[in-house]
């Protein structure tokens, strides 16, 4: 009851604050301050969809430190010139690229090896990674009964992205927001209390 009351008093949710000063996940992106929080959120979302798909929960692995650690991966490489058709202003490209919808959590070794490739070349390599990364590829929706069942039952807006443009970044942001609203919904406090 105390936690629920505190949450109500905060005046904010994943859509932003009641005073309009913050825009929620629509403006949420990686920077020096948010990096740790985003890493945790991506780890929790990835672990959630894998667990719900019958694959176990690897949250501890995703947040562990060390040489085999996971890092935030920008889905779009740091080449604004590759996206000049949609982002004539490079600053606009950087803002969208750093937004939560343009991010994944991947092993440091993967990020170092494939991070600079164009999206179309990286996409096939995402199939060997965690389920949140794999969900970008159309093959993730084939012969993957646990995940396909989870997507159907949850109605989360998962979809394959053969390319990764501004509309894809926005669709992905909406997916992440849907996941966050489910995972961190205040009613989960009641569920935890009853178990």
Can you give the pLDDT at residue 155? 93
Residue 1 vs residues 9, 12, 111, 148, 182: alpha-carbon distances, Å:
12, 18, 42, 36, 19
Can you give the pLDDT at residue 186? 72
Can you give the pLDDT at residue 87? 93
Can you give the pLDDT at residue 9? 75
Can you give the pLDDT at residue 139? 97
Can you give the pLDDT at residue 110? 82
d(CA 49, CA 100): 17
Can you give the pLDDT at residue 180? 92
CB 111 within 8 A of CB 130: no
Can you give the pLDDT at residue 173? 96
Tokens of residue 7, six digits? 């949450």
d(CA 55, CA 150): 11
Can you give the pLDDT at residue 148? 97
pLDDT tens by residue, the chain, 195 residues: 787 777 777 777 777 777 777 777 788 889 999 999 999 999 999 999 999 999 999 999 999 999 889 999 999 999 999 999 999 999 999 999 999 999 999 999 887 788 789 999 999 999 999 999 999 999 999 999 999 999 999 999 999 999 999 999 999 999 999 999 899 877 766 777 676
Can you give the pLDDT at residue 94? 94
């Amino acid at each position: 009851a105390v936690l629920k009351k505190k949450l109500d008093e905060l005046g904010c949710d994943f859509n932003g604050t009641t005073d309009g000063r913050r825009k929620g996940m629509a403006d949420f992106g990686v920077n020096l301050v948010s990096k740790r929080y985003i890493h945790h959120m991506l780890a929790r979302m990835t672990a959630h969809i894998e667990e719900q798909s019958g694959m176990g929960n690897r949250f501890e692995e995703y947040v562990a430190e060390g040489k085999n650690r996971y890092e935030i991966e920008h889905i779009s490489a740091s080449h604004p010139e590759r996206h000049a058709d949609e982002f004539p202003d490079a600053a606009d490209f950087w803002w969208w690229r750093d937004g939560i919808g343009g991010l994944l959590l991947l092993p440091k070794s993967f990020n170092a090896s494939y991070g600079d490739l164009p999206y179309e070349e990286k996409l096939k390599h995402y199939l060997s990674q965690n389920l949140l990364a794999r969900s970008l590829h159309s093959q993730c929706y084939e012969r993957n009964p646990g995940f396909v069942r989870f997507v159907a039952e949850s109605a989360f807006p998962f979809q394959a992205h053969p390319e990764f443009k501004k509309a894809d970044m926005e669709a992905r942001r909406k997916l992440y927001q849907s996941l966050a609203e489910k995972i961190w919904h205040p009613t989960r406090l009641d569920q935890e209390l009853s178990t």
